[in-house]
Structure 1
């Protein structure tokens, strides 16, 4: 499927309509709290981003939310004084960003696009890029690291959530091994029998080599990282880490 990202964008639009947790914008009260410097933000299901991962101050920093629509991170970063741009291929996620911006009366640049292509920004544009877990919906993550490095200013920060692949090993009940890694419906269509792409979208497992070493290969220096679990289910019950989050800087 050559246009799998277009397919995925429609799936995510559908999820947002169904009440997807990553498509639910923050409330007015949360926005007001962020203006006071009081906020919570995640890259993965549960753990909050450490406050020292953010620039100090955030005010005046140019920030890109990469595949980060939904009205969750960008409104908070704007409330803290960031000059924000959001880039996403889901129209529903971008509509949520527009809704919050209009509700709170602030400006944000909203761009619809596909991060598997060259990003529409000049070199050395942003002070920070933030991306909750999104690379599991693209096949080649090295392109994202290379482009992120290009458009960040020297010393710029990359904050990103990553799936470590364990979720793709198990069946839906998370009680038995289902499929060996890598998980790639484009190359292994048999996975569609239990995980139909019409419901799950087209997702991909990625290795530590691809996700973290890939950032290093692009030129980034890893400053900090942490692991996280699913928000629910058997794997969470056993405290099995299924996500990473990394903070890297452009050297």
Structure 2
């Protein structure tokens, strides 16, 4: 099965459904950003600390799998030179619409996050990758591509998911799926067919080894992290934070 093609269609569909991650920021939020009052997320609820960012003026930023008009327009309003790369054309259109309306200069590129060959080596100062690696079957090529396109000392900010959250049944919270989880191989056939029929994005629960050690092996040094949850929207919030945000730097 072509996962990239399927998930592209699913996210195009989510834009039509007005999924929470497809709703662009408002004009008021952009005005607030100009006054220094802004926030963007890598995970559902917690804002990324300001001290994770260098001076944004003129900074070349790649918003990786970051379509939807939620992060790129804020960063561009703050003076960054922003490129948004996403699998979904409809998600990219959300950024393009705001960019055209407010003259933000955002560039948009459609593609698979495991293949950033459209960009030259050492092209960006910072990569902002909100929680999205769950939509690729193998995360290791993503880290390697991130290292390649970042300049030395370039920063990678990414949202990760604790793999145990995929192994639990969402209703009973019982541990029923083995690691590594994959919609393709872990779910009963009838459930998988239902997801495909409803054009739902298919997900993969990557090990912490692949998510964190994978960054280190690719050439990053981990400099900071924090945990986050669904904000009370999921029963597992009562037991553990399902999300992890990391800040890493490309080693010289």
Q: Name the TM-score, length of structure 2 as normaliser.
A: 0.93
- Unaligned segments of structure 1, at least 5 residues: none
**Take 1:119 and 1:134, find their aligned partners in 2: how far apart are those partners?**
19
The aligned residue for residue 235 of structure 2 is: 234
Q: Within 5 A, what are the aligned runs for 1:118-157?
A: 118-157=116-155
Over 3 Å counting, the alpha-carbon distance change for 1:118 and 1:84 in structure 2 is: closer
Over 3 Å counting, the alpha-carbon distance change for 1:61 and 1:78 in structure 2 is: same
CA displacement at 1:181 relative to structure 2:
2.1
**Take 1:141 and 1:165, find their aligned partners in 2: how far apart are those partners?**
13
The aligned residue for residue 250 of structure 1 is: 250
CA displacement at 1:189 relative to structure 2:
4.9
Over 3 Å counting, the alpha-carbon distance change for 1:197 and 1:119 in structure 2 is: farther
CA displacement at 1:191 relative to structure 2:
6.2
Over 3 Å counting, the alpha-carbon distance change for 1:230 and 1:194 in structure 2 is: farther
The aligned residue for residue 21 of structure 2 is: 22
**Take 2:36 and 2:138, find their aligned partners in 1: how far apart are those partners?**
36
**Take 2:193 and 2:49, find their aligned partners in 1: how far apart are those partners?**
34
Q: 1:86 aligns with which of 84, 87, 106?
A: 84
Please list the CA deviations of residues 106-140 of structure 1 after superposition, one character each: whole Å capped at 9, or x if unmatched: 21111111112243110111000000011000011
**Take 1:49 and 1:106, find their aligned partners in 2: how far apart are those partners?**
22
Are the counterparts in 2 of residues 185 and 191 from structure 1 also a CA contact under 8 Å? no
Q: Within 5 A, what are the aligned runs for 1:32-181?
A: 32-55=31-54, 57-181=55-179
**Take 2:41 and 2:188, find their aligned partners in 1: how far apart are those partners?**
33
Are the counterparts in 1 of residues 162 and 242 from structure 2 also a CA contact under 8 Å? yes
- Unaligned segments of structure 2, at least 5 residues: none
CA displacement at 1:185 relative to structure 2:
2.8
Q: Name the TM-score, length of structure 1 as normaliser.
A: 0.94
2:227 counterpart SS class: strand
**Take 2:23 and 2:210, find their aligned partners in 1: how far apart are those partners?**
29
Q: How many residues are treated as equivalent by the alignment?
A: 248
The aligned residue for residue 216 of structure 2 is: 216
2:127 counterpart SS class: strand
The aligned residue for residue 206 of structure 1 is: 206
Are the counterparts in 2 of residues 174 and 233 from structure 1 also a CA contact under 8 Å? no
1:101 counterpart SS class: helix
Over 3 Å counting, the alpha-carbon distance change for 1:147 and 1:197 in structure 2 is: same
2:249 counterpart SS class: strand
Are the counterparts in 1 of residues 163 and 208 from structure 2 also a CA contact under 8 Å? no
CA displacement at 1:19 relative to structure 2:
1.4
Are the counterparts in 1 of residues 133 and 160 from structure 2 also a CA contact under 8 Å? yes
**Take 1:36 and 1:72, find their aligned partners in 2: how far apart are those partners?**
18
